[in-house]
Amino acid sequence: MINNEKFTKKAVMIIEGAIEYASELGHTYVGSEHILLSIAGEGNTEAADILMEGGISFDELRSEIISMVGQGSTTVLNQRFLTTAAKRILEKAYLAASVSNGKKASPERILAAMLEERSCSGCTIMRKLSADQNIILTRLDDILDNETGRKLYDAMIPKQSQIPNLYRYGKNLTDLSLVRKNDPLIGRKKEIERILQILSRRNKNNPCLIGEAGVGKTAIVEGVAELFTRNLVPEDLKNKYIFSLDIASLLSGAKYRGDFEERIKLCIDEAVSAGNIILFIDEIHMIVGAGAAEGAIDAANIMKPQLARGELQIIGATTFEEYRKTIEKDSALERRFQAVKVCEPDIESCVEMINGLRHNYEKYHGIEISDDIIKRAVELSKKYVTDRFLPDKAIDLLDEACACAKIRNCGKTVKDDTKLIHMEGKTLNQLNEVINSYDEKGVTENDLNHVISLKTGIPLSKLTSADVEKLGNLEKKLSEHIIGHDTAVRKITEVLYRSRAGLRDVSRPVASFLFAGPTGVGKTELAKILAEQYYDSENSLIRIDMSEYMEKHSVSKLIGAPPGYAGYDNCDNNLCERVKRCPYSLVLFDEIEKADADVLNILLQILEDGFLTDSVMRRIDFRSTIIIMTSNIGAEELTTKTSLGFSDNDDMNNRTTESIRKYFSPELLNRIDEIIFFEPFKHEHLLQISRLQLKNIAHRAKTLGIDIEFTQRVEETVAAAEGTSRYGARPIRRKAVELVENELAKMIVNSEIKRGESIRIDIENEKISMTKTVTI
């Protein structure tokens, strides 16, 4: 039996009706949707009238429930089959009624409690039926205000004539019209309870919310203000009001010395004399030093006497950094406040928060937002937007994605397209395709990916399945440009495959490599090609020449100068700032052995944790970067392989590894994913590189309208350039310039070769000869 002491007769009928409807539909539970159906079906209650005014009819509601849940054979149920959400709704309704006026819970109370439980099935169905929640909430507020004594609450607030300065420089957060405009607060029960506990203290009853920007500090205070308007606060806090004080407004227009102090003193005196006003100061760190001049006191010191005597109550909000810089340094001010830490919510809590805001965004943008899109928005923002915090960054992403979807569908209607198809005599299948295309009028994952790409600079392909297909061809693409290092290319792609498959530690960079080998074998070139192929942009390479870091103090070029030193405020060109601006980059530390050993220690944090803390204590995310270090350590073992008679590559690599281990610390080497060895080029490799260099010359000439063909003797002559055994492929490039480019340039400048002509280049008597062939 339903407890008649908790609910009115009509409310009991609603609950019993919900059980009957669930039984009739053959459901094995009694949920919030059945309670909503029972409210709509009970015609002689104000709650049913409110639903009708909001656009919800009994028949539509019943059809939607059957469509969503299904229908089975009639069953026998009772109140023990109530779901957790349904029990919570009934309990909230009873508690709200008992706290406000000691009466039993009415059907209107049950409906109001259901609207607070925004993730329940009943609210979901109302959103699907496009219910006008503003009408429903307004009507409920009018009815419940009379129950809770809201009119008495409004009547007790001091008039504007009594507190003119508070109305001028602030706003009443407990004003019902303002509360209705605010987005609802979802979750944060612990923080709200903590604030109410501090406000209820006898002394030092001033809470200060401390948290990173975007975690919802101001929203929590607005949620507390809503509790005040509904009298859901402890007895000693009833009939109190929260006024938000704007420090910027107080400072604005204060031309003469003493104007600001006078304004803030008047506001404090009005709050103290009223006796039932709590001041909320957002960015409360601004009161320290605000308005201070030589020989004058700031706003914080003006407030201290009233705070010390308990005459004034303040709720503050600031960030950890600003709290540490300002309030923490003033111990007399700090001890007046009680810190309430507001942490970033986890993914599940953030999804629940945005679910509660969904209706507002759907109504504003006029498009549908699915549950999957909300979850995906939170996951994408958590993964890729690393310099901001949930839920703010997820809400921003979803809001902009809604705008993208709205613009995409702007001006398009199915009716117009069907008319066009009819006029053009198109087929029925084409008509169905047009109609089906409108299933994507809501926000899609492509919209989210597009916004993320715009915000972070991440290539759009990285966020789609096309990235997987492209990665499958990575080894082939690298081998086309990198000659003679198939083993190195294979090892690199294996590491990247593991990373892309999701098997890597997500708290570390995408991959980290140490390229070891003699000069000129293609270490830096491979890094450049990898950046272009993996990140879809040649600008994604951040190259750090470690020869510039031979002194201990040069670490400031990576993380910025320490406080008090020149360049502390100018960090535009250091590594941290460049990665912060472009988090999807390949970071190349070239010739790492030339850097001071203490400078190399800075890399440990990057390779292990995926973060680097700069000189201003910002944590820069390196988890989307590829880290490559090049070194010539051990090059002698590689280049003297033939002369020493080592034919076993493994033995040679072992000797090179020993040289590397002697030079670099174990802490650094153990954090690297793979050490890649680059062997000296063989003759066939040099010949391929020669052909590649000559091909590049021919390509540049082609842009000038000149067609060039090289003979095999030219290719072999360039490949036989002196110094390749010691300097690798670089002498080949110099030989190509000296042998071909210089002569070709002279002929073009002297008009011996003109646009549209075709020439054949050969070697005769160790000199280059150019013969004109057929004109193009």
- Cβ partners under 8 Å of residue 560, min gap 6: 567, 568, 571, 574, 576, 577, 614, 615, 616
Work out the pLDDT band at 694, boundaries 50, 70, 90: confident
User: How far is 136 from 52, CA to CA, in rounded Å?
Assistant: 9
More confident residue, 370 or 423: 370
Mean of the pLDDT values across residues 761-772?
75
Q: Determine the pLDDT at residue 395.
A: 92
Distance CA 337, CA 206 (A): 5
pLDDT at 527 over 60: yes
Binned at pLDDT 50, 70 and 90, residue 776 comes out as very low
Domain 467-677 falls under CATH 3.40.50.300? yes
pLDDT for position 425 = 52
Query: What pLDDT score was predicted for residue 431?
Result: 53
Work out the pLDDT band at 530, boundaries 50, 70, 90: confident
Confidence at residue 564, expressed as pLDDT on a 0 to 100 scale = 60
Closest CA to 308 of 281, 282, 335: 335
Per the listing, tokens 């203000």 go with: 225
User: Residue 82 above 90 pLDDT?
Assistant: no
> What distance, in Å, lies between the first and last C-alpha atoms of the chain?
98
Q: What is the pTM of this model?
A: 0.66
Q: Do the Cβ atoms of 528 and 541 come closer than 8 Å?
A: yes
DSSP 3-state of 202: coil
Q: Give percent of the chain above pLDDT 70.
A: 83
CB atoms within 10 A of CB 63: 12
Instruction: State pLDDT tens for residues 15-43.
Output: 888 888 888 888 888 888 888 888 888 77
pLDDT of residue 350: 92
Express each pLDDT in 253-289 by its tens digit: 777 777 888 888 888 888 888 888 899 988 888 888 7
CATH number for 348-454 (one of 3.20.20.370, 2.30.110.10, 3.40.50.300, 1.10.8.60): it is 1.10.8.60
152-208 pLDDT, tens digit each: 555 567 777 788 888 888 888 887 656 667 777 888 889 999 999 999 888 888 999
In the prediction, which pLDDT does 532 show?
Answer: 84
Q: For residue 633, count other CB atoms closer than 10 A to its CB.
A: 19
Element (H, E) at 584: none
Which range, of 307-321, 322-336, 636-650, 716-730, averages the lowest pLDDT? 636-650
pLDDT for position 207: 93
The pLDDT confidence band at residue 531, using thresholds 50, 70 and 90, is confident
Report the DSSP pairing between strands 626-631 and 511-516: parallel
pLDDT of residue 456: 76
**pLDDT the model gives residue 341:** 92
CA dist 39 → 68, 101, 124, 590 (Å): 19, 23, 16, 72
Between 143 and 120, the higher pLDDT residue:
120
Task: For residue range 459-484, list pLDDT tens digits in order.
Answer: 665 565 555 666 777 888 888 877 77
Ranges in the chain annotated CATH 3.40.50.300: 155-341, 467-677
Question: For residue 41, what pLDDT is reported?
Answer: 84
* Mean pLDDT, all residues of the chain: 79
Q: Which of 80-89, 209-218, 501-510, 526-535 has the lowest mean pLDDT?
A: 501-510
Average pLDDT over residues 207-211: 92
CATH architecture observed for domain 683-772: Orthogonal Bundle (1.10)
Residues 521 and 514: their CA atoms lie apart, in Å, by 14
Residue 357: the pLDDT is: 85
Confidence category of residue 220, pLDDT binned at 50, 70, 90: very high
Q: Which are the contacts of 69, defined by CB distance < 8 A and separation ≥ 6?
A: 25, 27, 33
Residue 300 pLDDT > 60 = yes
Q: Which CATH number is 9-148 given? A: 1.10.1780.10
CA distance 216 to 395: 11
What is the model's pLDDT at position 724? Answer: 62
The residues of the chain that CATH labels 1.10.8.60 are 348-454, 683-772
pLDDT: is 273 or 426 the higher one? Answer: 273
Question: pLDDT band at residue 646, thresholds of 50, 70 and 90?
Answer: very low
CATH class of the domain whose range is 155-341: alpha beta
Residue 130 pLDDT exceeds 90: no
pLDDT at 424: 52
Q: What angle do CA 326, 330, 332 make, to 5 degrees?
A: 145
**Beta pairing partners, 586:** 541, 626
According to the model, what pLDDT value does residue 209 have? 93
φ, ψ for residue 740 (rounded to 5)?
-110, -55
- Predicted confidence band of residue 210 (pLDDT cuts 50, 70, 90): very high
pLDDT of residue 42: 79
